[in-house]
Amino acid sequence: MLELGKTYNTAVEVTLEVIGGKWKPVILFHLTFGTKRNGELMSLMPTVTQKVLTQQLRELEEDGVVTRISYNQVPPKVEYELTEYGWSLKELLHIMCRWGDRHVERVYGDKVKILERVPDVNET
């Protein structure tokens, strides 16, 4: 959450305060492809711990970019999706992904493998 009365040098700082860190952009990126359950996110990000994933999802929910949908059933079912406001990040996240693809090709060539790529700009 943003701090009231705080001064930022640039709006980039504000953006990074909301989506910055190792996992938040990755979570948001995966949610641009639709609603996900906790287990799906864990599968898509095998090195994140459950504790960190839960914490990051709560922070994204507090900032109004992710919605947690809880179904009253047994066993419990919870899904996460982008809010309307969260969808405004889609273009930024996909541009970051494409930049990362180009950077890997430029710096590492075929020595690094990226498993999840964003579809071509005409497909999104």
Peptide bond into 76 cis (omega under 30): no
Q: What is the pLDDT of residues 69-94, one digit of tens each?
A: 999 999 889 999 999 999 999 999 99
In order of 65, 67, 72, the CA distances from 79 in angstroms are 14, 8, 12
CB neighbours of residue 104 within 10 Å: 15
- Weakly modelled stretches of the chain, pLDDT under 50: 123-124
Q: What pLDDT sits at residue 16? A: 93
pLDDT at residue 81 in the model: 98
CB atoms within 10 A of CB 47: 8
> Roughly what angle, to the nearest 10 degrees, separates helices 90-108 and 24-31?
110
What letter does residue 109 receive in the DSSP assignment?
G
Strand partners, 36: 80
Q: What pLDDT does residue 120 have?
A: 64
pTM of the model: 0.86
